[in-house]
Amino acid sequence: MEKFILAFLVGGAICMLGQLLMDVFRLTPAHMTVSLVVAGAVLGGLGLYEPLIKFAGAGASVPISSFGNSLVSGALAEAERNGIVGVLTGIFEVTSAGISSAIIFGFIASLLFKPKG
Amino acid sequence: MLAGRQSWLFRNRPVILATGVTGGPFEAAGALPNDFDVLHDDIWLGQTSFEKAEKKLLEEACEKAIHKAGLKKDDIHFFFSGDLMNQIISSSFTARTLGIPYFGLFGACSSSMESLSLAAFVVNAGGARFALAATSSHNGAVNKQYRYPTEYGAQLPPTAQWTVTGAGAALLAAEGPGPRVTMATIGRIVDMGISDPFNMGAAMAPAAVDTIESHFRDFQLDASYYDLIATGDLGKVGHAIAGDLLQKHGLAIPGEKFTDCGLLIYKDDQPVMAGASGCACSAVVTYGHLLNRLRRGELRRILVVATGALLSPLSYQQKESIPCIAHAVAIEREDG
């Protein structure tokens, strides 16, 4: 039960931050999303995002900030194995499933459905 | 002809011989379905894109107006039209279909009264026996170009407005039965520094007030001359601001005489946030609802102040503020 509550609180806090970025700081939805990705990447680079995932589970791994963390951790892991070029080859390693499925499922949806306006 | 600083008095009183008003399913479910000539139950109108659907709405409105007046396309001397699409494609493509000599205008949502005032000027001066003024907008096409595609699912703030899917056309003639276009006041750009495209009503309200003030000054009139003064698409937020500004300028218009087309077209329970907007908003409400009320004798003299926000998606992304404009046209009963 405690796990659920922590996930709810941390995930909810990240989403509330996103809502505040739009409502108070007048960011567009795209700018808000990118800001959260960058924040996740910075926290990941500093080694702070993994502990957050351990602490809150899905509350930290589901929001878009987790995508930034995955970008950086993939790049760092690959850089350790293959040197500096690994930064380039590793950046989409962990995230490739997410990116590929976004493209493929987006494409399938566009074939099957028509915008309702 | 020229009256005061920025107005025209039409001594020959050009006639609105007929109008054509078309709309989509959301308008059919709105507050004024009986004031439309054609209502569609599909926002695609059987076309393959929203842009093509908008062009169809405009073509239909123009053809309806010409048909109702008992005329043929070849009888119309000039066609004045504007819309919100890039390079005003809805208007130009409709002009291609109609084959009528054409003036393409861009006044954003003020296009309805911009085109009507110019058409009236030309007819009044003897430059045409028949002229057509029209404009259109389409919710899906406008969201795609100016905001976010609907499928993107972006949240809208409560100040956002709902673009009308529809088109309105007015056929002006030198003589004949019908309401008369008697005066027009051309607005200047007013920019109060608002840059939020989801709060157009607030951005445009000062432009509407500036034009109303100029109109009263140029003709030495006050609000008592009119039975109704309707702004174009200020919505709830802009309408309240305009009311306050008019009061501050000592020109308070009584509440029952002052309305906004963006508050009339939809029902309260429709999810339109602050109200309606779009080129078609003032066009369909004026050429449908308001002219019908004029014909029924419920109103004798009205002033329509169509408001336009002259931003582009690019200017907004580059953090420019929104230049706004409003054009006012007075329409009166023939016996008024």
Residues of chain A in contact with residue B149, where contact means CB-CB under 8 angstroms, are: 115
User: Is B252 within 8 Å of chain A by CB?
Assistant: no
How many angstroms separate the CA of residue B288 from the nearest CA in chain A?
24
C-alpha–C-alpha distance, residues B225 and B180, integer Å: 15
Tokens of B126: 């003897």
- What is the percent of chain B with per-residue pLDDT over 70, rounded to a whole number? 100
Question: Per-residue pLDDT averaged across B240-245, rounded?
Answer: 97
In this complex, is the C-beta atom of A116 within 8 Å of any C-beta atom belonging to chain B? yes
More confidently predicted of A92 and B88: B88
Residues of B in contact with A115 (CB under 8 A): 140, 149-151
Q: Closest partner residue to B155 among A26, A29, A117, by Cβ?
A: A29
Rounded to a whole number, what is the largest CA-CA distance in chain A?
49
- B74 pLDDT band, cuts 50/70/90, is very high
Residue B215: which of B303, B302, B295 has the closest Cα? Answer: B303
Packing angle, helices A2-23 and A29-45, rounded to 10:
130
Q: Is the CB of A117 inside 8 Å of chain B's CB atoms? A: yes
pLDDT of residue A32: 96
pLDDT at B13: 97
Q: Which two tokens stand for residue B16?
A: 């609105």
Token pair listed for A14? 């990240």
Q: At what angle do helices A29-45 and A65-82 cross, to 10 degrees?
A: 40
> Taking CB atoms and an 8 Å limit, are B150 and A115 in contact across chains?
yes
Average pLDDT score over residue span B275-296: 97
Which residues on chain A are in Cβ contact (under 8 Å) with B154? 29
Please enumerate in sequence order all residues whose Cβ is within 8 A of that of A80, keeping only pairs 6 or more positions apart, or say none: A86
Mean pLDDT for B112-139 is: 98
Give the C-alpha separation, B50 to B79, whole Å.
23
**Which pLDDT value is given to residue B150?**
81
Q: What single-letter amino acid sits at B118?
A: L
Vertex B313: Cα angle to B310 and B101 (nearest 5): 55
Q: State the average pLDDT over residues B305-332.
A: 96
CB of B44 less than 8 A from some CB of A: yes
pLDDT of B235 above 70: yes
Contacts of A116 in chain B (CB under 8 A): 43, 150
Residue B149 has pLDDT above 90, yes or no: no
Residues of B in contact with A29 (CB under 8 A): 148, 152, 154-155
C-beta atoms of B155 and A22 within 8 A: yes
Nearest residue, CB atoms, B140 vs list A23, A26, A117: A117
CA distances from B188 to B208, B286, B305, B323 (A): 10, 22, 13, 10
What gap in Å lies between CA B195 and CA B86, rounded to an integer? 20
A117 located within any domain: no
Contact assessment for residue B78 and residue B132, using Cβ atoms and an 8 Å cutoff:
yes
| CA atoms of B212 and B195, how far apart (whole Å) | 23
Domain that includes residue A96, residue range: 2-112
What is the per-residue pLDDT for B155?
A: 86
Enumerate domains of chain B plus CATH numbers.
Answer: 2-173 (3.40.47.40), 180-332 (3.40.47.40)
Q: Tell me the mean pLDDT in the region B46-72.
A: 97
- State mean pLDDT over B125-153: 93
- Rounded average pLDDT over B47-70: 98
Nearest-CA distance B52 → chain A (Å)? 14
Contact call for residues B308 and B283 (beta carbons, < 8 A): no
Question: What would the DSSP string read from start to end of B172-204?
Answer: EESSSSS-EEEEEE----B--S---TT-HHHHH
Cβ atoms of residues B248 and B261 within 8 Å: no
pLDDT tens for B151-167 read: 888 888 889 999 999 99
Q: Name the A residues in 11-40 with CB < 8 Å from any B CB.
A: 22-23, 26, 29
The C-alpha atoms of residue A87 and residue A77 are separated, in whole angstroms, by: 8
Which residue in A has a C-alpha nearest to residue B195's C-alpha? A26
pLDDT value for B273: 93
Q: Could you give the number of structural domains in chain A?
A: 1
Question: Rounded distance, CA B5 to CA B153, Å?
Answer: 46
Residues from chain B contacting residue A22 (CB–CB below 8 Å): 155
Is the ipTM above a cut-off of 0.90? Answer: no
Residue B323: both structure tokens together: 């230049």
**Mean of per-residue pLDDT scores for chain B:** 96
Please work out, in degrees rounded to the nearest 5, the angle formed at the alpha carbon of residue B224 by the alpha carbons of B223 and B230: 45
Q: Of residues B188 and B195, which shows the higher confidence score?
A: B188
Mean residue pLDDT across chain A: 94
pLDDT given at position A1: 86
C-alpha–C-alpha distance, residues A31 and B62, integer Å: 42
What is the per-residue pLDDT for B336?
64
Q: CB A114 to CB B44 under 8 A?
A: yes
Asked if the model's pLDDT at residue B1 lies above 90, the reply is no
What's the whole-number mean pLDDT along residues B236-252? 96
pLDDT band at B110 (very low <50, low <70, confident <90, very high): very high
pLDDT of residue B335: 83
Compute the nearest-CA separation of A9 from chain B (Å).
Answer: 22
CB contact under 8 A, A116 and B150: yes
- Is some CB atom of chain A closer than 8 A to the CB atom of B150? yes
CB-CB neighbors (< 8 A) of B140 in chain A:
115, 117
In Å, how far are B120, B199, B264, B328 from B183, measured between CA atoms? 9, 30, 24, 8
Q: Reply yes or no on whether the pLDDT at A28 is more than 90.
A: no
Q: Contact at 8 Å (CB) between B55 and B79?
A: no
Could you tell me what percentage of chain B is helix, strand and coil, using 3-state DSSP and rounding each to the nearest 5?
A: 40, 25, 35
Please give the pLDDT value at position A4.
Answer: 96
Task: Please indicate whether, in this complex, the C-beta atoms of A115 and B155 are within 8 angstroms of each other.
Answer: no
Answer whether residue B308 shows pLDDT above 90.
Answer: yes
Chain A residue whose CA is closest to B139: A117
Q: Which residue has the tokens 């802009």?
A: B238
